[in-house]
Amino acid sequence: MPELPEVQRAVNLIKRVGLGKRIAHVDTAEDSIVFADTTHSEFAQELNNRKITNVQRYGKQFYIELDGKGRLPLLHFGMTGMLHVRGEIPLFYKEGPKKIDTNWPPRFMKFVLHLESDEPKDASTSNAITELAFTDPRRLGRIRLRNSPRTEPPISDLGFDPILSMPSLEDFSAMVLKRSCPIKALLLDQSFNAGVGNWVADEILYHSRVHPEQRCNTLTSEQISNLHHQTKHVCETAVSVDADDSKFPEDWLFKHRWGKGKREKPSLKLPTGGLATIKWITVGGRTSAFVTELQKYTGNPDLPSPKTPSSKKRSRGSKRTKKVRAKEEEEDEGESDLTSLSDEEFSSPKTPSKKRPRGGKSSKTRARVEQEDEEESDLTALSDEEEPLKSSPAPKRKVRMIVETE
């Protein structure tokens, strides 16, 4: 999923090709899922003949400011959303396809803005129209219209932005210490901070030397200070190079964290010069990469230690397929944007629960289904009304009758 740096890159792109230009025409494709709270035709009518005056970002949301009366487009990429400029190579998230499709409009297009300059045309000025497209293959992105995007949901429901509104160390410390969930889960909670996704969170924790499963209320003042600094620093560093990962520092975990399930071993070096050991665990429903030599778990002794990833070799015949590895990488990239993770989900030890009526959902199952619904995932939850499995008939018991005779 595109995170804060990638979204800022999209903002920079719109400013470069569209700032000061008039939207002469809008092409749209009907999609009742991606176009939220509006229709594709209404979206086009709202934008026609208005000039782009600015582009703003907050967290992973971004919006285009236009002149004149009317609502403003508020955009979110979801898992696979992208911007394309006709005639330019697209800026892919992480890595692009081997062969770039040059057809126009691009596949999975949701809208295309036809941008025209209002400047007087002369021999030295090109009168060509710039075409900017928004695509989304998996349809998890959202296109909205808002009168005041910054003060209305979903932006108004988000936490602080690490670049735009980073709190003071004192306030940050209070916000973290009152929680008992793993720190990785808190960093992914968009109601805590907006814009930090999976790889950014792992990078923050790596440079802070904090284990992803470390409980928030067990962090030391030094660890919290490191987290406060790195949350802002990692985001600003990635944004400063326009989210071009080839320009990320060589000592970043990002350069080596994508090796799960691959034969090539990570080559990240420790400060001592030796090779780092990168492990992958699941925290808050997401895959987390961390360096075992530098990120030690030092939690509350009353709480169980996290399970160490198994290093045993797989048994013969249990090789993962490409589809399974792709699914793991997809889960690694995704996270909910608005769901707050409850501290109770990670509390331990667990108290015995009462037996549920047969067929009833557990609270964890309900929370998972609600999160998937809020994220508007394309994975559907099983219905409670589905026909239960037929149980096999009970075996007949033989009855022996004893007759007493006088």
What is the reported pLDDT for 206? 97
Tell me what pLDDT residue 223 has: 98
| DSSP state string for 349-363 | SPPPPPPPPTTPPPH
Task: Identify the three-state secondary structure at position 56.
Answer: strand
pLDDT of residue 344: 57
pLDDT digits (tens, 9 = 90+) for 170-184: 999 999 999 999 999
Q: Catalytic site residues?
A: 2-3, 60
pLDDT (0 to 100) of residue 397 = 54
Strands 72-76 and 61-66: antiparallel
**Residue 205 CB burial class (10 angstroms; 0-12, 13-18, ≥19):** buried
Count of Cβ atoms closer than 10 Å to residue 390 Cβ: 6
> How far is Cα 235 from Cα 213, in angstroms, rounded to an integer?
21
pLDDT value at position 404?
45
What is the per-residue pLDDT for 337?
45
Residue 312 tokens read as: 């045993």
Alpha helix (H) residue ranges in 72-216: 169-177, 183-188, 198-208
Task: Sketch out the chain's domains with CATH numbers.
Answer: 4-157 (3.20.190.10), 169-311+322-333 (1.10.8.50)
Percent helix, strand and coil across the chain, each to the nearest 5? 30, 15, 55
- Residues of the chain short of pLDDT 50, as ranges, are 301, 310-318, 321, 324-326, 328-329, 331-340, 348-355, 359-361, 363-392, 399, 401-406
Stated pTM of the model = 0.76
Map tokens 């990239």 to a residue. Answer: 333
E runs forming strands in 202-336: 278-283, 286-291
d(CA 126, CA 100): 27
Q: Provide the edge-to-edge strand list for the sheet that holds 72-76.
A: 52-58, 61-66, 72-76, 142-146
**Can you give the pLDDT at residue 290?**
96
pLDDT score, position 102: 83
Give residue for tokens 């470069």. Answer: 16
CA distance 155 to 137: 24
- What does R_g of the chain's alpha carbons equal in angstroms? 26
Count, residues in the chain: 406
Residue 1: the pLDDT is 83
Q: What is the pLDDT of residue 234?
A: 98
Q: In what order do the strands lie in the sheet with 109-116?
A: 22-28, 109-116, 130-135, 82-85
CA distance 137 to 36: 16
In eight-state DSSP terms, residue 182 is B
Using one digit for the tens of pLDDT, what is the confidence trace for 85-140? Answer: 999 988 766 665 667 778 999 999 999 999 999 776 655 555 689 999 999 999 99
